[in-house]
């Protein structure tokens, strides 16, 4: 960096070389510095990418674990009655409904499959099952939709990073 910053005439005089040779030398040194900076930035990007992959793998393993754990409510037969005597017909499990009721921001703690189930549910049936008003159920569905969109965008970004990094492997 110091050799680049020194005035060309002073460096030429000190090294007993022509100014054109010194210019070539300074240009070469600048290219080396630029390449080193690009490599440093590439390493940082690669570290972020690897960290994102680890996070993606841990999320995928959690999803796989949750899919392998049998859900108790699958064995329960719906008799069509509840404690109040009305039937709230939803495809949502009791466990999922409990999570929706108890959590302040349930969309953040649900897996993507559960988010999709909440979105597919009729807002009136959801409101009835949760004993909420329809507006609150619709707000929950909207929050679930936004979270699902955000997750999809993250996955697309990771795929983009992955394809970009595969393309750079062929470079020298």
Give the end of a domain, one of 44, 65, 86. 65
Residue 127 within any structural domain of the chain: yes
Distance, in Å, from the CA atom of 138 to the CA atom of 125, rounded to the nearest integer, reads: 11
Residue 19 within any structural domain of the chain: yes
Contact 93, 75 (CB under 8 A): no
Q: Are residues 56 and 99 in the same domain?
A: no
Contact 14, 21 (CB under 8 A): no
Question: At 163, which CATH number?
Answer: 1.10.1490.10
In tens digits, the chain (172 residues) has pLDDT values of: 888 888 999 989 988 999 999 999 999 999 999 999 999 999 999 898 888 888 877 777 776 666 665 555 444 444 444 444 334 456 778 888 887 888 778 888 788 888 888 888 888 888 888 888 989 888 988 988 998 888 888 888 888 887 777 766 555 5
Distance, in Å, from the CA atom of 79 to the CA atom of 171, rounded to the nearest integer, reads: 64
Q: Which domain holds residue 42?
A: 8-65
- For residue 47, give both structure tokens: 């570290």
């Amino acid at each position: 960096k110091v050799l680049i910053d020194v005035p060309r005439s002073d460096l030429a005089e000190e090294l007993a070389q022509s100014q054109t040779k010194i210019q070539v030398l300074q240009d070469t040194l600048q290219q080396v510095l630029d390449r080193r900076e690009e490599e440093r930035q590439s390493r940082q990007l690669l570290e972020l990418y690897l960290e994102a992959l680890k996070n993606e793998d841990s999320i995928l393993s959690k999803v796989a674990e949750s899919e392998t754990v049998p859900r108790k409510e699958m064995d329960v037969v719906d008799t069509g009655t509840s404690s109040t005597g009305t039937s709230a017909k939803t495809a949502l499990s009791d466990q999922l409904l409990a999570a929706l009721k108890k959590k302040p921001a349930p969309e953040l703690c649900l897996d993507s499959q559960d988010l999709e189930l909440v979105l597919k549910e009729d807002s009136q049936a959801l409101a009835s099952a949760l004993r909420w008003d329809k507006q609150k159920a619709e707000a929950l569905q909207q929050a679930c939709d936004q979270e699902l969109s955000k997750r999809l965008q993250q996955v697309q970004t990771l795929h983009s990073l992955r394809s970009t990094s595969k393309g750079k492997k062929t470079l020298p």
